Amino acid sequence: MNKDRRFWNEAVETLSPQKMKVLQWNRLKGQLQYNFDNSVYYREKKFQKAGLTPDDIQTFEDFQKIPLMTKDEHRQIQAESMRRFGHPYGLITCAPREKIIRINSTSGTTGQPTLYTLTENDIKVLNEMHCRKYWRSGLRPGHIVLQALSLSMFTGGLPLSDGLQSMGLCVVPVGIEGGTRRVLDFALLTKPDVLIATPSFGEYLIEQAPKLIGKDARELGIRWFFCAGEPGAGIPSLKKKLQEGFGAKIFDHTGGGHAFHGISCETEPYPGMHFVSADHCILELVDPQTKDPIEITDGAMGEMVFTFIGWEGGPFMRYALGDLIQIFTEPCTCGWPEIRFKILGRADDMLIIKGVNLYPSALKGVVSELEPRTTGALRIVLAKPGPLVKPPLKVRIEYGIKDISAEDKHILKTELSELIKDRLRVNPDIELVSPFSLPRESGKTSLIELKSNV
């Protein structure tokens, strides 16, 4: 194995966009037939509902006539299968039961967990996607990885350990169940090169290391930090904190049990994550409200829809998970060839101002561009719950420099206004507030504040 090569799977990862399209289309055709033949649900609720058979699908537009699937629907199918067959696998699972060798799951924090059924083939595909991401970031066999995520059947748990091992990495699956002290003790004991954790746990480790082990997190020797579950590298202040706190390179990455995988590169300013799994996942964008397709062009924003291709167990077809993303099609300066994306948040968060869709997290991204002159913290102040907002859009933004002059404040406000108008096509009414005056929450802080008197 040539350790110097840039890509894990050179042949596929460097395919031209045209060749990738051909490969995707051929795989999609096969997958549609397979799904039709093997899943009652797909046959009845998707193909027949659209009045189509796989043979009728000759163009990508034909394919887009298949109705979308949602997470709620996924839960309903599991429940219906339970009623009809006594188990949840009867409707969407396409492979014979004896070929299913693993069940993954989402964490199920809001409602019944949704299940992913995998065959040996699917696990190979999934592991390959993990290899592609870590290989590009510079990891090689022999590196030691401290996996400080919830160690469970959830996708960042045992399935991720499996993926890391398949690349030849040495995994220390320490988990987080034993507490912070245990993670730090194992970091001292096992000498990891790499840490995988949520960025908020990363911050906590930096803070706690001197108290708990009498050393700075920097002294642990970690050279790569992979943010899981939440964005880290995409938020300049957080990236800097992690970078300096560990003395490590910081990467965002995504893609657990399903087909949509991405990894960030080292380009500055942050250009989003590269979409590394196009040969096993067809990506579409739709309007979160109308569900109409949105063309994938540079800067396009919308709800992500994906279709598994080359999968056997429970291949999802036009699955709309409710995640909002922005796509970038212009080549990245890092030289990795494929399109990139930023995760903007959940579809439920979207606001509409004079017909323009606004994603609060996209607004946060724009405000963060002016760090340290802003702290990056903001609140959108709404008179009533969205998505419809009566203009102008009221935004409170923290300036970053404590003793800022009135003149500099005025300049900052104008610059922010113009930047927001330019990037998001929305005219904001900005109120600048002093640093750290907006409340912070320990979990995810909401960017929206409801005020009945505005």
- Applying CB under 5 A, the residues found at the interface with Zn ion are 265, 267, 332, 334, 336
Provide the token pair at 322: 């409710």
Tell me the closest approach of the beta carbon of residue 260 to Zn ion, in angstroms.
Answer: 17
CB of residue 57 to Zn ion, shortest distance in Å: 33
End-to-end Cα spacing for the chain: 63
- Amino acid identity at 50: A
Single-letter amino acid, residue 37: D
CA-CA distance, 414 to 410, in Å (whole number)? 6
Q: Which is nearer to Zn ion, 63 or 341 (CB)?
A: 341
State the minimum distance, in angstroms, from the CB of residue 326 to Zn ion.
Answer: 15
CB 77 within 8 A of CB 41: yes
Task: Tell me the helices (H) and strands (E) count for the chain, helix number first.
Answer: 12, 22
**Half-sphere exposure (Cβ direction) of 309: Cα atoms closer than 13 Å:** 20
Torsion of CA 149, 153, 154, 159, to 10 degrees: 80
Minimal distance, residue 334 CB to Zn ion, in Å:
3
Q: Which of 68/334 has CB closer to Zn ion?
A: 334
Would you say 163 or 272 has its CB closer to Zn ion? 272
Got the DSSP string for 372-421? TTEEEEEEEEESS-SSEEPSSEEEEEEES-TT--HHHHHHHHHHHHHHHH
Nearest distance, CB of residue 4 and Zn ion, angstroms:
19
* Closest CB 77 distance from Zn ion, rounded Å: 37
Nearer to Zn ion, 23 or 334 (CB): 334
Task: Quote the longest CA-to-CA distance of the chain.
Answer: 71
Tokens of 363: 């607004």
**By C-beta, is 132 or 394 nearer to Zn ion?**
132
Q: What does the H/E/C string look like for 90-112? A: CCCCCCCHHHEEEEEECCCCCCC
Residue 271 CB, shortest distance to Zn ion, in Å, is: 5
Q: Which is nearer to Zn ion, 129 or 389 (CB)?
A: 129
CB nearer to Zn ion: give 174 or 339. Answer: 339
